[in-house]
Homo-oligomer: A and B are copies of this chain.
Amino acid sequence: MTVGIIGTGLIGGSMALKLRENGFADRFIGSDADEQHAKRAVELGIIDEALSLDELIVQSDVIIIAIPVAATEKILSGILDKAGDKVVFDVGSTKFTMCEAIADHPNRVAFVATHPMWGTEHSGPDAATRLSFEGNVVVICDREKSGEKALKLVEDIYHNLGMKIVYMGSEAHDLHAAYVSHISHITSFALANTVLEKEKEESAIFQMASAGFESTVRLAKSNPDMWLSIFMQNRENVLDVLNEHITQLKKFRSCFEKDNYTYMKELMENANKIRRILK
């Protein structure tokens, strides 16, 4: 089987490395808008050959689209036009507008909308790693819109990667993703800017930074293009959760301003309930 990877970076590259290691397919080909990335992906053994997008479609049995979500939306319909009975799936972090855009495509059954909940703050082929995906959740959206063959093959791939499959509507997916993924990136970006701003007057401010700081800020290293695309696509949901988060922070601020430490303690005790979710 030949697997075609569009976008040979962190996600596409890690998927190729792992599927190859697991013997899922014998040939991996790639296409990347960034020629340097494509070249590097060959050097790193992620793909056997770099091809044009059109040539990749012709030669692949299954096509994985692993590029920023806005870019996916631009090319997806054209790929489905040419895909015939090949299987196509994406791995992007937002799903609703993309699924809407191809809802009436005559070849919609060839496509599966997925979101593997794994990633790091790094990007590009050099960030690709075999230590990926295993044990994490992947969301498959609007499964009833995909054909049986396509769904089966994509499920096989995710099982091969060791992921736990969860099914969800694309609209619900985007709402949930805003709360348990997208907002975390905004708070990290904003927190990095908060401290970098202070560094202008207090140059030694990072001397004491420890694990707690690193943990809450590491996502601020994430790729701006990728996240801009996600935030634009999921604008309404992200704005809702951002508003709610600012409200929650203002509760803490109000406690300080009014010296209301009884309520502040209640807020923290309530937050402790997250232990139920995070072991």
Contacts and interface: CB of A to CB of B under 8 A. Distances in A.
Interface of A: 115, 117-119, 136-137, 139, 166, 168, 172-173, 175-177, 179-181, 183-198, 202, 204-222, 224-225, 227-228, 231-232, 235, 238-239, 241-246, 248-253, 256-257, 261, 264-265, 267-275, 277-278
A181 B238 CA distance: 26
A273 B222 CA distance: 11
Given A187-B187, A215-B218, A219-B216, A256 B235 contact: yes
Contact of A215 (B215, B224, B228, B253): B215
Contact of A191 (B115, B183, B194, B197): B183
Task: Specify how many copies of this chain sit in the oligomer.
Answer: 2
Contacts of A244: 194, 197-198
Contact of A249 (B195, B215, B249): B249
A260 B210 CA distance: 34
B278 A241 contact: no
